[in-house]
Amino acid sequence: MKSLKISLLVTIIVSLSVLLAACDIRLTATPDTVSASENGGNGGNADAGEIAFLEEQLSNPELDEQTRASLQEKLDMAIRIATLQAATPVPGAQVQALDAVGGEGEEIPFNSGIFPGDEGLFKPSQALIENYWQEKVGEEYVQVFAGASGENPQQGLVIVVVTQADLVNSTTDFYPAAEASGSLHITEATPELVRMENQDGQAFCFKLAEGSFGCP
């Protein structure tokens, strides 16, 4: 259960970062970094937007049972966090709300591996995600999403989301591949290198430390 909670928390934080990006916050092809904490004044709106976005995803009648259950859990958690924040409207309320869910000072396991889709985190206009990899690296929670650009489905895209140990601050960076690369799919990954293929089986690699494409 704790593992599920930490995964949901990180996913919610990623969703908030994506929603902020949709509100004209600068996330570009070059690794410009956006910190969710820099936009703390919009926290209430971001929570409302996250809840509305999840509700919209759940209204899709074509969802399979597993995806619907996952989205419902995220919605329940988002509502719970928003309620806790509203009940403690003081500096640090977001941290207090997250502590109430996760447990202050506890080492909570984080599910590592490669998972299909993006569970509705990105709008089609932003990205068409095929799958993602996630792992706790040091004190950070790292997630790498692979797919194609929402504006050009023939252009591969990698999105790197890093959430800090406090579960409050996160960064989201978009890295487009070559225009004719095609949509990318993660085949294996380590904290240093993410290996991918396009639909034709052509290999691609992404170096996390450098934030650039290239196979060793």
pLDDT (tens, 9 = 90+) of the chain, 216 residues, equals: 444 445 545 555 555 555 444 443 333 333 333 333 333 333 444 467 778 888 888 888 888 887 887 788 778 777 766 655 554 444 443 444 445 455 445 555 678 999 999 888 889 999 999 999 999 999 999 999 999 999 999 999 999 999 998 878 889 999 999 999 999 999 999 999 999 999 999 999 999 999 999 999
Split into its structural domains, the chain has a count of: 2
Tell me: do 126 and 202 sit in the same domain. yes
pLDDT given at position 91? 41
Tell me: do 120 and 209 sit in the same domain. yes
Going along 31-155, which residue ranges are E strands?
A: 113-116, 127-137, 140-149
Q: What's the predicted TM-score (pTM) here?
A: 0.58
Nearest to 204 by CA among 172, 157, 162: 157
Tell me: do 135 and 178 sit in the same domain. yes
Is 172 part of a structural domain of the chain? Answer: yes
Is 9 part of a structural domain of the chain? Answer: no
pLDDT given at position 82? 66
Tell me: do 124 and 60 sit in the same domain. no
Is 123 part of a structural domain of the chain? Answer: yes
Tell me: do 137 and 206 sit in the same domain. yes
The Cβ of residue 34 has, within 10 Å, a number of other Cβ atoms equal to 18
pLDDT given at position 184? 98
**Residue 65, C-beta contacts closer than 8 angstroms, at least 6 positions apart:** none
Tell me: do 127 and 180 sit in the same domain. yes
pLDDT given at position 50? 79
pLDDT given at position 72? 85
Tell me: do 147 and 188 sit in the same domain. yes
Residue matched to tokens 């709008």: 123
Tell me: do 121 and 207 sit in the same domain. yes
Tell me: do 83 and 118 sit in the same domain. no
Which token pair is 89?
Answer: 């409207």
User: SS3 of 138, please?
Assistant: coil
Is 103 part of a structural domain of the chain? Answer: no
Is 133 part of a structural domain of the chain? Answer: yes
Is 37 part of a structural domain of the chain? Answer: no
Torsion of CA 195, 127, 80, 139, to 10 degrees: 30
Tell me: do 118 and 83 sit in the same domain. no
Nearest to 204 by CA among 130, 150, 142: 130
Give the end of a domain, one of 87, 104, 136: 87
Q: Can you tell me the distance from the alpha carbon of 11 to that of 164, in angstroms, rounded to the nearest whole number?
A: 13
pLDDT given at position 192? 97
C-alpha distances in angstroms, 82 versus 29, 78, 90, 118, 200?
32, 6, 13, 22, 44
Tell me: do 126 and 83 sit in the same domain. no
Whole domain around residue 67: which residue ranges?
48-87
Is 147 part of a structural domain of the chain? Answer: yes
Is 72 part of a structural domain of the chain? Answer: yes
